[in-house]
Structure formats: structure tokens, C-alpha cells
Structure 1
Amino acid sequence: MTTQPRNTDPYSDPRAFYGAELRRLREAAGLTQEQLGHRVFCSGSYIGQFEVAIRRPQLELSQLLDDVLDSGEHLQRLCRLARNSKVADYFADAADLEQRARLISEYVPMCVPGFLQTEAYARAVTSAALRFSPQDMVDQFVRARMERARLLDGSDAPVYWAILHESTLRVPVGGPAAMHEQLCHLAETVRSRRNVALQVMPFDAGAHPFMTALVSLMNFADAPPLVYTESAYTGHLVEDPALVAQYQAAYDLARAVALSPEASLALIESAAKDFATHEQRA
């Protein structure tokens, strides 16, 4: 099925211009989306998502498209412009997809999920990750993280379900004051937002499939589900249906062995009090 163009101004942003140019070149070559997709080893619907600016262009795919459409390096150059992002490049595709998700389910092994971080906590995490980077880069990523958190606001916000490991509540990121603020923010978010659910994986749960990586499962109203996984300085989108189903099954098991939302909230509030006591003693 051909993805029809939306009423999008091709000059509104680099991604829309990339999509308009891809469509123009494809039609000039007399190819359907399916035919072009076949030649560059993807589906026609995938080509359509680039043409209507749903997906961010990929450099490797743009190279193949330039070869097939005999367009020199035109699409590659546009791709580099379209991939500019406020977030880390390896996460940018997933960040875009989050905007369309109706349900986001995350497991985070060692730190508070980005959606739920306070500015002080985000700054401490980002500063540690970018220890040798300029301060303005740290500031840029912290601002982007704060902006990203707004996705959970509003009447059309996605449902957000997170599982975090108990170690997240114990590692003093940013010091006792920052941790007390962060854990109070978690508790308040769970109490005040009906679209947010939070569970804690306790230490005594033992081994589980997601011990070493962040995992985010995204479900959409108009597209198949997919998974984003992340470790230090790298991330990867998983779209193969069989692998996505395997991740979903593993997440369901993790949800089953984690503490209930009510017990998780009690543990979070208890840990917040511990950091408040530590801060007073200091």
C-alpha cells in the first residue's frame, strides 16, 4: 500500500524537504514505493514513512537511494541536515518515535528514566557521561531531556510504564539533596499522573533478562510495535517482529516479578526519607 503525502510544507524542516525530494526523485524514475523499497532492501511502507517525514532519514539507506535514483550524493547531503538533533544521535530516531507512541514501557537498570528525571539529577548523570565534553554540550542535553519529559503532559500523552531496579534508589547521583528531590519527584509523578505507572525490581528478584541494558518498548496506533535498547554511548532500534515479541515476553516476566506499583511507591518514599536524613546529618 502506498503511503500518501501529507499536507506538509517541504520547506518547513529538513526532514520534510528530504521526504519531498525522495518522492520527486522516485516518481521521476517511474518507481512505486514498493519497487524502490525492493531495490534498496526495505518495504515500500518504509519508503513511504521517509517521504511523509514520519521517520528520520538513514545515511546508509540514503546512499543506496542515491545509487538507485542516480542522484549523486543529493539525498546523503539532505540526510545529514535532517539528522540534526538536540539529543544524542544514537537516540534521535527513538526520540522521534516516542512522539507517536501510545504506550511506552521501559526497564532501566541503574538510573532514573529520562522521562522522570529532575534537572539536578539529569545534570549529574549527563556530566558524568560527558566528563570530557564542553559545558555547553552538557547544558544542551540537559535542556533536551527536560523538554522530552513534557511528552507525558497533556490529554494526548502516552501511557508510560517503567520498571527501575532498586539500585536506582540507592546510588547517590548528584548527592543526598539531589537524590531526595529526585525520589520525591518520582513519588509525586506517580500520585498525580494517571498515565504513569512505576514498579521497582527489588534486589532479591535475582537474575532477569534486562540486567545490563535499558529497554524501551513502544506501541503505536498505526504501526507495528518496536523496541529501543541502549547501553553506554550507543543505542539500537529493534523492528523484527519475532525479536520484538521476545522482548515483550521478557518485559512481561520482569513486570510480574517486580514489586507492585503500591509497594514500589512505598519503597521510593522510604528511600527519599533515607536521603533526607543523610542530608540533615551532613
Structure 2
Amino acid sequence: MASGSRQAVWEFFGTELKRRREDAGFTQVELAARVFVSGAYIGQFEQAIRKPQLDIAQRIDEVLQTDGIFERLCRKLIDDRRYAEYFAEVVELERVATRICEFAPTVVPGLLQTKDYAEAVTLAANPFVTDEYVADIVTARLERAHILKDAARPEYWVILHKNVLGVPVGGRREMAEQLDHIARLMRERTVWVTVMPYTAGAHASMTGDLRLMDFEDAPPVAYTETSFSGMLMDDPAVVKRAQRAYDLLRVAALSPKASLALIESAAEDHRRCASTT
């Protein structure tokens, strides 16, 4: 589904929610209390500023007795087989975020991946799939990165663990090109990337990726991911803890200048190895 038509369906979701809510005689606050969110959330759903999670859509159907219409709309919008089920909503939120802060301990984040790197990562996790499957996954990943080219692009802060720089994903030459791509985005001031060195030792997010997203008219969310699952969290107390963890990670990382030098040096090391093999 194209992004324009997807947004149109979310707007329909909001318009229909407002109509059904008013027909049932509920205010935003009254409906919110019954589906365990805030009144502001209901308003954001109705204005298509924020997209509800599937369980919230199901509770709305139950309270308003709408025969599953909001669950069906929600499933239609998040059912993009190019993304894992737990990641589909994160992709939607990326498109409206004003700031994205990410910690990547093992793999270059999807928004920064080159085509060759994305193909290698996809094949490593799915060695028996077709070329068409790989092409679909890689295309979806590269399409996500278009948000960094928009005039209204979000601030994008990334902390890479030094592990990420050393593993030659896709091969030495391909890894050099991947690191060159990151360095170019840094020099263009499109992204803000720092590197956590080995000397930092233990760090605040030892179990997997961490991502924070801020929005203009909605509360922030946190997202954590391991190899086979992910969790999107919007509980204010949990998000606050995740923000503190990210602050600790940022303090442990190298300066931007030192990080750029390290990334460029790692790229040269991969290139030199590629030329001798």
C-alpha cells in the first residue's frame, strides 16, 4: 500500500472513530477511560496524528460495539509482510516522528543500510528464501530511509557499538561502502552518529537494540528489539527509563569527531583487506 493511500485509510479510521464515538454518546475522555488510554490519545487517533495499536482498536470495537471495523482497519494498515508483525507499527511511527534516537549494538540500523548490506543481513537470517523475497525486504528497508531525504526529516541520533564497524557484513568491499555511506551522511549533517568503544565496558542496554521516538503532537514511545521479537512501549514511566538508558549510552560514546574518524578508519581497513584478497 502506498504511503499516500495508507495515510488516507488512517484518516478514515479517525473520522469513523469520531462518528461512532459521538453516535454512542461518549466524549473522548469517556471512551478513553473504557479502553485504558488518555483522552488526548483518542483525539490524536481521530486526527490521524497517532496510530492505535491493534489491542486498542479491538477494545474500541468492544466498547462501541462496532463489529470489528476498527480491528479490521488496523490489521489492513499494519499487515505489510515485508516487515515483522512486531515492527510494522514502528515503521508507521517513523514517518511522523520529529526525532529518532537509536542504539545499535550489533547491526547497522535499517535507516542507514546500503542495498548490499541489507541483502546480506536478510540472507543471513533467511538462507532458503527466493530472490524475490530478498528483493521485497531490501526494497522496503531502502524505502524507509527516504524519510532522511525529506525537508521535514526527523533528527536522527544513532549510537553504534564498535562491534558494528568490524564485522564485514556482505564482504570487505561491501562493508567499506556501508561505512562510507554512514560517514557521508554524517558529513552532510543528515544524521548524528557516535560510536561506543570497547573501553566503555558494560553499558545501559545489554540485551538488544533501543529506539526512542518523539512526535510533535503525541507522547514519546520506546522500542526495544532482540533477534526474534520487538516491543513498542508508550507507558510514560517505561519510556522515561528508556530515555535515561539512552542518556547513559550517549555519555559512554565517543565524540562525533572521534566517531567519524573511527568509522572512516574502519572503512579503510575493510577496503585494504578487500584489495589483498
TM-score using structure 2 length: 0.91
5+ residue gaps, structure 2, are: none
Letter in 2 for 1:64: R
Q: Rate the CA distance shift 1:172–1:12 in 2: closer, same or farther, 3 A.
A: closer
Alignment of 1:88-237 (within 5 A): 88-192=84-188, 194-237=189-232
The 2-side partners of 1:19 and 1:10 are apart by: 14
The 2-side partners of 1:60 and 1:95 are apart by: 18
Letter in 2 for 1:150: H
Q: 1:271 aligns with which of 248, 266, 272?
A: 266
Residue of structure 1 equivalent to 2:59: 64
Letter in 1 for 2:46: E
Q: How far has the Cα of 1:35 moved from its partner? A: 0.8
The 1-side partners of 2:65 and 2:15 are apart by: 16
**3-state SS of the aligned residue for 1:89?**
coil
Cα contact 1:55–1:93 (8 A) shared by 2: no
**3-state SS of the aligned residue for 2:97?**
coil
**3-state SS of the aligned residue for 1:224?**
coil
Letter in 2 for 1:126: T
Q: Rate the CA distance shift 1:251–1:58 in 2: closer, same or farther, 3 A.
A: closer
Pairs aligned (count): 273
The 2-side partners of 1:186 and 1:177 are apart by: 15
The 2-side partners of 1:189 and 1:131 are apart by: 31
Q: Rate the CA distance shift 1:34–1:10 in 2: closer, same or farther, 3 A.
A: farther
Cα contact 1:200–1:259 (8 A) shared by 2: yes
The 2-side partners of 1:142 and 1:65 are apart by: 35
Deviations 1:242-279 (Å, cap 9, x if unpaired)?
A: 22222222212211111111111111111111111111
Alignment of 1:17-56 (within 5 A): 17-56=12-51
Letter in 1 for 2:206: M
5+ residue gaps, structure 1, are: 1-8
Q: How far has the Cα of 1:107 moved from its partner? A: 0.5
The 2-side partners of 1:269 and 1:240 are apart by: 39
Q: Rate the CA distance shift 1:31–1:226 in 2: closer, same or farther, 3 A.
A: same
Q: Rate the CA distance shift 1:21–1:137 in 2: closer, same or farther, 3 A.
A: farther
Percent identical across equivalent pairs?
A: 50
Deviations 1:204-246 (Å, cap 9, x if unpaired)?
A: 2110111221111122232222211111232212222222222
Deviates more, 1:168-177 or 1:92-101: 92-101
Deviates more, 1:76-85 or 1:228-237: 76-85
The 2-side partners of 1:134 and 1:266 are apart by: 38
Letter in 1 for 2:123: S
Cα contact 1:215–1:227 (8 A) shared by 2: yes
Deviations 1:78-99 (Å, cap 9, x if unpaired)?
A: 2222223353331122222222
**3-state SS of the aligned residue for 1:102?**
strand
TM-score using structure 1 length: 0.89
Q: 1:253 aligns with which of 234, 248, 258?
A: 248
Deviates more, 1:59-68 or 1:138-147: 59-68
